[in-house]
Structure 1
Amino acid sequence: MASKEPAMNGTIVMTGASRGIGRVAAERILREWPDVHLLVVARGSSGARLSAELSAGGRTVSYVAADLGSLESVRSAATEIRDRLNSGDLPPLRGFVGNAGMQYTNALTEGPDGFEATFAVNVLANHVFVRLLEDCFAFPARIVITVSDTHFGDFKHNMGMVPGPAWRSPDVLARTGAFPKPDTTTGGRTAYSTSKLAAIYLVHEYARRLPAGIDVVAYNPGFVPGTDLARNADPVSRFAMRRIMPAMTLTPFATSRSAAGRYLADVVLGTTKAPTGSYVDHGRVVRSSDESYDPLREGELWDAAERFTTARPA
């Protein structure tokens, strides 16, 4: 974190605020920063409903609609936010929270741009926002990207539920069928853990490339049952995640939505002190996996993300 915490007024842009830990974090941010303008990015008409709910009590909340699986939609949303910031319609930009995430039951789901859907939402959408808003940040500012300890790939962190990442060239990872048995849940979960490793790689690269005064932090909430992360899973798995596994929050193996959301808000607010490029596990700065520190992969992924997200002439 920079030596000064972000100012009490300003704009924070947030994805994934509709439900789960994001909703808890959004409410806490608004309570702790009464003068903040929270701009939520949400799909379709849900943004209007969400902003109305969050603005109860006189808080300042607005929204921009976007489908995070579509780079064209994300680019349009980011451009609209940038234009509003530059025109003075929004107060200075103090933060971006890339909390939205997706996990599919296969590694064959393709988005409208031809990219594998997990990679598009969990990696490329955040990259578009960071790059298009980069020049709009007022210092000091903080970017927080929600990642996952599934990137460790061991039983301690995954409890055998999610396969570890299987790194490939970004040109392979960005397309469907990058992993063995791509038509299975195992393939989809491998795509998820690999996308979270990729997100950490980009956090490290952002920390090197962004101007001083813009800190970027990876946040791991741990295993949080009861969220809609697995909303594309089969009915039995969805029932287990929503109705059975929440009981695990009574053990050390899982985190409740309220706790995970509070930890996320504290990272955004600067209450949790974290230097740029760091990995915050719950409320502590720790070291991420050994595999997650690889400057060659980080640079390669940066170059690929730049290619993938650059708008092409019509």
Structure 2
Amino acid sequence: MEQAQNGRRLAVLVGCNYPDTRNELHGCYNDVLAMKELLKSERFGFEEDNIEIMTDKHGSSNMPTGVNIKKALSKMIDQAKPGDVLIFHYSGHGTLIDLNKSGHLYKKKKEEAIVPTDFNMITNLDFRNLVNRLPKGATFTIISDSCHSGGLIDKEKEQIGPSSDNNTTPEDVLSQKKKSKNIQFETVLEHLSSLTNINTQDMGTHLLEIFGADASIRFREPNLEDAFKPLKEDEGILLSGCQANETSADIEEDGGKRSYGAFSNAIQIVLKENPGPLSNRELVIKARNILNKQHIEQHPCLYCSDENANSTFLSQA
């Protein structure tokens, strides 16, 4: 849905590098800082005061824990009005939760989730709940540069997914060091088990023990999935860094002098090379082509309504 340009523009930008851990990444801070500068440009018109940045950098006063991220997103959704343009850009680890290994009977066997710095995962059901609360006439764009991010808004319509083709020829790129933004289910379970000292493979048991009412809706209300189904075509727009069964890359170039998320960087390149308006569909297709040329084996996807697929990215004038 194309929005009037007099609406407010609100952003939450999250970068998790997980410093001093075995899961450490290097480009996520850079991704959100680059996105901040892009949003503040005349092209998109976001004001500094309407952009909230969260990183797990040492000394950060706004750590991207699961609670803090959900609070920031809820605040943004709750203050949104018709005509507003909202964006959440996340760069960090993602995971595919294996609900089949849980002791509970869930309707789904797998669940996509982002992994905040404290491992209090935010699942696709949480994002569906946020989108359902969006007021009519406002849009909520999620850019998730993380693994298994396809389908991160539960039940959103696939516009560009696994069946989409790339028709570009790979080209040589600078020497790169690539690291996956994936945390295996078993790694997350091991970490949470060390905190609870409970002997179970049920992820929900550990999360509820540690985080209680701040854990994901998925584990607090496992039988209420139907309550969060979209009632109509909504204004949620997901640009995912890869398909649900793929991993996204954290890239280091020139011996670590430059680091970035592959998908975040591709978006920056596309927008720089195409100064005019681009639809969400065009942006994702062009980002796919860039990653293909760079020999980076991940396929960005687009999930949204038919109308929003062809609407201009962030309602650029």
TM-score range, shorter chain: 0.3 to 0.5
User: Larger % of strand: which?
Assistant: 2
With normalisation by structure 1, the TM-score equals 0.41
**Whose helix fraction is larger, Structure 1's or Structure 2's?**
1
